[in-house]
């Protein structure tokens, strides 16, 4: 492994660690809110949201690592396309949830939780990789 590969691997591990800790932290906040309201209606929504967030963060990190190592010139295209793909997949997940659940209150709760997780992770990704690219130049 050369120096660039080591730097990419270190950044990848840092990204995964930070994004997964953010997901866990947000999930704990939602769980604390659920315990205050004595409501367990949001458990399924939280599980789906956490699974989607973990899957998308891990996938985003793995694809970034591969592109950064093998074709760094294509990173600009990746930073443009990856959020769009994530948005489409998020819309599909929300659509499937709405179709399966069909309960207005549960749908509103899910969309709120999902949207907050999605936005926070989107901002985190943008900030993390903007700093990463600034360091590399």
pLDDT in tens, 45-101: 999 999 999 999 999 999 999 999 999 889 989 999 999 999 999 999 999 999 999
27: its two tokens: 């999930």
pLDDT value at residue 35: 82
Distance from the Cα of residue 78 to its chain's centroid: 15
Region 117-126 average pLDDT: 96
The model's pTM: 0.91
- Measured in residues, the chain has a length of 137
Longest dimension (CA), the chain: 54
């Amino acid at each position: 492994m050369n120096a660039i590969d080591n730097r990419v691997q270190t950044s990848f591990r840092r990204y995964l660690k930070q994004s997964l800790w953010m997901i866990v932290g947000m999930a704990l906040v939602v769980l604390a809110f659920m315990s205050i309201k004595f409501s367990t209606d949001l458990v399924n929504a939280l599980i789906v949201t956490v699974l989607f967030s973990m899957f998308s963060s891990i996938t985003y990190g793995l694809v970034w690592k591969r592109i950064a190592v093998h074709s760094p010139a294509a990173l600009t295209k990746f930073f443009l396309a990856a959020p769009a793909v994530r948005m489409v997949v998020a819309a599909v997940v929300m659509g499937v949830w709405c179709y399966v659940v069909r309960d207005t209150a549960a749908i509103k709760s899910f969309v709120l939780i999902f949207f907050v997780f999605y936005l926070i992770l989107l901002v985190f990704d943008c900030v993390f990789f903007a700093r990463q690219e600034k360091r590399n130049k």
